[in-house]
A and B are shown apart, each in its own frame.
Chain A
């Protein structure tokens, strides 16, 4: 197995553990924004989609790349915007609320 793959596996496993540690600390109140925020992060496939647009002399690949860019951008733009919109709704108790 080439070194690059081994390194990628190492990175994947360590990142998974970081993910487990961080996400168990997210309170249940924020689980929906966590999911929509995860949607946004999984939009990182946009990187692969951008690279794929560079494939020349293959119409099918260009079609795939176009749809992949569009789908990934839906996740990136939609994911971050809707998460921000939701998080903006979470407020602390107002001062004027009675004791």
Chain B
């Protein structure tokens, strides 16, 4: 194929990715956009196959293995396990980029002298790809529960990580100067170690930021590989993914009122940072029957789901309660905090899976605008995101974090197993407020009880 024609076809593929992203701007067009993007990918693959000498044995074997694994994972994965899967996919992306560059380095066979800019981008690509790979595997292990979600720290950790990074720089310079494979391999190995070292001190609650960041890195790795093999499709696609991950990590940081450096290096939740004055007072405990009456006679109910709801697999029971209420003429909406799930937008997917229409899923600002005109708020497995201390108590570790201001509603019903503090280990004054009723139960059992109780109202 003509070189120019090839470049133009890669451009068409890149445009398809851009259109795909653009159509992700609305749930109505998103699915179609995903297909357009997939079409672009298919085109890029076909162009590459036509235009290159390939080893069909290696290619077909790899493609069959990869496609099968990918398809099985995609069809089988539970929506609750989505964060792990995205983490693992980020890792595979990084691994692929690092290996492509490793193979290109071997192509030189120790004799070819790469131009400066090529060897530099090779080092960069291997570094980003390797860090993304092992970092993602640790994130996967933490989310999957194979590793403890609490931060793993040791004295001198930051110094050790800085030393690793310095090592990469040093051996990178050596590689660049001599073009030998030994320092290049050492760069790859230290990068693999650095990926592990960077992610182990980050706590489970901060994983949404980490996955988003690794998502970005997997894009950067692809873009760097694009520089190495001089392919604009990789550069453009990598840049798009890189931008996406950075925006999402920034949004997550904002939602937690934390800086990115604090998330990455703060080891949040390692020591129990108790808030100064722990609130104590009387808690009003209630029963499913009373809650059913309050809900049934409300005009508007806002449900605030937290990750506890997903853990209890109670989305479907929630939808059942909502359907009964809607049949009675109650308006039911869902207030979703950006960090409600284990990754950006996770809770929305879990509720969509339970057949909640997307128009009913409200973001932070929409919910807070509605709460003063809401009769009952049902808090299910959420804790820190409704903690008024984040707004009122400047001594609280979560002070300044944007919250769903559920205490502005007339009545708040908190469904929770016990008064134990949440993920971040912070006491919640909401539980002791006058307008708050506590329903002590597992979310799923409470919702099933509510279904039964609503039948009798």
Asked whether, in the complex, the Cβ of A68 is within 8 Å of the Cβ of B100, the reply is yes
Query: What residues of chain B lie closer than 8 Å to A58, measured between beta carbons?
Result: 106-107, 109
Task: Judge if B225 is at the interface, Cβ distance under 8 Å.
Answer: yes
Please, how many residues of chain A have a CB less than 8 angstroms from a CB on the other chain? 87
**Chain B residue at minimal CB-CB distance from A78:** B70
Residue in contact with A51 in the complex, picked from B31, B48, B242, B346, CB distance below 8 Å: B48
**Residues 67-93 of A contacting B (Cβ, < 8 Å):** 67-93
CA distance A56 to B260 in the complex (A): 44
* Chain B 185-217 residues near chain A, CB threshold 8 A: 211-212, 215
Task: Please determine whether B53 and A54 come into contact, CB atoms closer than 8 angstroms.
Answer: yes
> Do B355 and A91 have beta carbons less than 8 Å apart?
yes
Once A29-B27, A64-B102 are accepted as A-B contacts, the answer to whether A90 and B70 lie under 8 Å apart by CB is no
Tell me, in angstroms, the Cα distance from A93 to B352 when the chains sit together.
11
A60: chain B residues at CB < 8 Å are 106
A77 touches B240 (CB 8 A): no
- The distance in angstroms between the C-alpha atoms of A86 and B351, with both chains bound, is 11
Contact residues in A for B14 (Cβ distance below 8 Å): 15
Give Cα distance in the complex from A14 to B338, angstroms.
Answer: 29
State A39–B361 Cα separation when bound (angstroms).
25
Q: Kindly state the separation between the CA atoms of A5 and B115 in the bound complex, as whole angstroms.
A: 11
A38 touches which of B26, B232, B241 (Cβ 8 Å): B241
Interface string of A34-77 (1 = CB under 8 A from B): 11111111111111111111111010111011111111111111
Number of A-B contacts (CB under 8 A): 390
B55 touches A19 (CB 8 A): no
Q: Across the interface, do A62 and B58 meet the contact criterion of CB distance under 8 Å? A: yes
Q: Is B74 within 8 A of A1, CB to CB? A: no
CB of B353 within 8 A of chain A? Answer: yes
Residues in B with CB closer than 8 Å to A13 are 239
Interface residues on chain B, number (Cβ under 8 Å): 117
Q: Is B344 an interface residue (CB 8 A)?
A: yes
Chain B nearest CB from A8 CB (Å) reads 5
B388 contacts partner chain A, Cβ-Cβ < 8 Å:
no
Q: How far is the CA of A67 from the CA of B26 in the complex (A)?
A: 36
Q: How far is the CB of A82 from chain B (nearest CB, A)?
A: 4
Q: Known contacts A19-B244, A39-B218, A53-B62: does B93 contact A75 (CB below 8 Å)?
A: yes
Give complex CA distance A56, B81 in Å.
40
The reply to whether A12 and B62 form a contact with Cβ atoms under 8 Å apart is no
Closest residue of chain A to B24, judged by CB? Answer: A26
Interface residues as binary, B47-69 with A (CB distance below 8 Å gives 1, 0 otherwise): 01100111100110111011101
| B192 CB, min distance to chain A CBs, angstroms | 14
- Contact across chains for B358 and A90 when beta carbons are under 8 A apart: yes
Chain A residues near B95 (CB-CB < 8 A)? 67-68, 71
| CB proximity to A under 8 Å, residues B221-246 | 221-223, 225-245
In the assembled complex, the Cα of A23 lies from the Cα of B107 at a distance in Å of: 37
B453 adjacent to chain A (CB < 8 Å): no
Asked if B73 contacts A49 (CB within 8 A), the reply is: no
A93 touches B244 (CB 8 A): no
Q: For the complex, is B103 an interface residue (Cβ under 8 Å from A)?
A: yes
B63-99 near A? 1/0 per residue, CB < 8 Å: 1011101110111010100100110011011011101
Q: Can you name 28 A-B pairs with beta carbons within 8 Å?
A: A8-B227, A8-B235, A11-B232, A12-B235, A13-B239, A18-B240, A22-B21, A22-B240, A30-B24, A31-B248, A31-B251, A34-B248, A35-B86, A35-B211, A36-B86, A37-B24, A42-B90, A42-B215, A42-B222, A46-B96, A51-B229, A65-B62, A68-B96, A69-B66, A82-B82, A83-B34, A85-B75, A98-B326
